[in-house]
Amino acid sequence: MQNITTVPALSVPSTRRGLHFSLWSAQVLVAGVFLLAGGMKLTAPVETLQAQMPWVNGALGGAVRFIGLAEVLGGLGLLLPAATRIAPVLTPVAASGLTVVMVLATVTHLTRGEFEMVPVTLTIGSAAAFIAWGRFARAPIAPRGK
């Protein structure tokens, strides 16, 4: 079995450099998606959200603010722990949580017949799963001071 060592963010071995770059790119993109989407769900008037997202009129409409908060916190969790190297294990934990959010979003859109949203949720969920896998197993970031 391969021995995987945790390395500081700035001293990645050359064999892991490409994966490290790909993970950071995915982290920034996925975090941006969740920060924007979650921020909108937190701040926009409910009437505006109902016009833009049909599910807000449904059973999950009351949960829209909570979902927005979870998305913002998840987006921050993809970036801040890894960037500061303070508890960087929280980055793959956040990515795992966002993967679950996207699986649930996919199920919600399927049950509501909103099939055009399924490729979007699956793509974002797959990217979050890639981040979780990469930061847990292949290219973890060492905490500060190690």
Q: Average pLDDT of each block of 10 consecutive residues along the chain (146 residues)?
A: 54 73 97 98 91 81 90 98 97 98 95 95 98 96 86
pLDDT in tens, 81-113: 999 999 999 999 999 999 999 999 999 999 999
The structure tokens listed for 133 are 């896998």
pLDDT computed for residue 46 by the predictor: 87
The residue among 137, 135, 77 whose CA lies nearest residue 101 is 77
Residue found under tokens 């993809």: 78
Radius of gyration of the chain (CA): 17
pLDDT computed for residue 8 by the predictor: 56
Model pTM?
0.86
